[in-house]
Chain A
């Protein structure tokens, strides 16, 4: 049973560019949440997707957007990259979001230069 997978593992982008990160949830899970973890910090909630819709959002600008596909996989898009967007981006999957525990992927390390 595959757990949560994320791609790519590492990514280097230039300020002003756009980036897309991908996540496949654990088998049987239908909810995907995205987190940003800056160096030395705890993960910060970006948003959550369920039934292909964003249903919760943290304090992140509109430059951060996402999508969930019918197979429950998800993408995180960040436009107009800033140096401060450099971080580990974690994807977590769960079932229905009703208080169930979240399973985390290994993350994508994004470096903006």
Chain B
């Protein structure tokens, strides 16, 4: 069964500092990997996705993520965090081909301090 682990429940960074959110997945074949962001009381917005090809993926809002098969990881990064990035971030995995059941991690809540 596919699963996602986000080991950091809560992260605090200073505005302008760099950010890395960790994600480890478990899946028997090549996965589809996603990062979503959720602001309080809102639905989920897709930041970026990885299906195949270049393992460094660029997303919206200046985010990027790197797929490392050997480490079963898909960490999200941003070089300089803005106060508006404060939100909850979810890593997710889906099956490649066939019906798409998406499994989410438990999320990492990002706090940005001035």
A102 — nearest CB in chain B belongs to which residue? B102
Bound CA–CA A13/B98 (angstroms): 37
Contact of A101 among B41, B49, B106 (CB under 8 A): B49
Contacts of A100 in B (CB 8 A): 100
Cβ contact within 8 Å between B102 and A99: no
A66 at the interface (CB under 8 A from B): no
Listed stretches B11-19, B66-74, B89-97; interface member? B89-97
A102, B43: Cβ atoms closer than 8 Å: no
Contacting pair B94 A45 (CB below 8 A): no
Chain A residues in 8 Å Cβ range of B25: none
Beta-carbon nearest neighbor of A107 in chain B? B43
Question: Which one, B42, B95, B101, contacts A106 given CB within 8 A?
Answer: B42
Distance between Cα atoms of A97 and B102 in the complex (Å): 10
**With a CB–CB cut-off of 8 A, which chain A residues contact B100?**
31, 33, 48, 94, 97-100, 102
